[in-house]
Amino acid sequence: MKLVIGLSGRMGSGKGTIGDYLADKYGAEGRRFSDILSDLLVRLHIPVERAALQKMGATLRSIFGDDVLIHAMKKDLEEAEADIVMVDGVRYPNEVEMLRGFEKSILFFVDAPPKIRFERVRKRGEKGEEKIDFQEFLRAERRETERHLDEVKAMADYKLDNSGSFEDLYTQVDKALKEHGL
């Protein structure tokens, strides 16, 4: 039986770090809601930057309904061959509900203080983020795609603190998965 793991958290909180760890240690196969949007932006020859991803997601939801990305992701998860599949970037309560539709699912919410996350975001330099200052970072956290994260956090099975070392984070993940028989 397939285990579906949802990863949620604010920008720079460590979702990707957990995803890499799950892939390396547990053989998990990864998916991201933003991959669906990135594919469209690339096809349209629009730079794949956070603002464009957010606009594309909002536009698709306004035209096709709030569940448009959920239907695509659910199909991708069902077709995945791995025993453990993870979804990086769970941001809305209806996305959590989709995860809960699988017989076995876990939702991790990972967080760290804003200054730590800001430094991580600038350092990784994804999606045009290396150029932002702290005020722009804080504004980005108030955008539509980030507004439901407190609700999602309340729905999480595990709330992980990523203000320490990688080992501290991995220990929290391993403990949670052990509780689920892994």
Q: Does domain 3-175 have CATH number 3.40.50.300?
A: yes
Q: DSSP letter string over 24-89?
A: HHH--EEEEHHHHHHHHHHHTT----HHHHHHHHHHHHHHH-TTHHHHHHHHHHHH--SSEEEEE-
Is pLDDT above 70 for 112? yes
Per domain, the residue ranges of the chain are: 3-175
- Long-range contacts of 52-59, Cβ-Cβ distance < 8 Å, separation of 24 or more: 53/127, 54/143, 54/144, 54/145, 57/33, 57/145, 58/144, 58/145
Percent of the chain's residues with pLDDT above 70 = 96
pLDDT band at 65 (very low <50, low <70, confident <90, very high): very high
Task: Give the list of residues 6+ apart from residue 47 with CB closer than 8 angstroms, or none.
Answer: 41, 128
Whole-model pTM over 0.75: yes
pLDDT at residue 128 in the model: 64
pLDDT band at 44 (very low <50, low <70, confident <90, very high): very high
* CA 7 to the chain's CA centroid: 5
pLDDT digits (tens, 9 = 90+) for 114-170: 999 998 888 887 666 777 888 888 887 777 567 899 999 999 999 999 999 999 999
Mean predicted confidence (pLDDT) in 44-71: 93
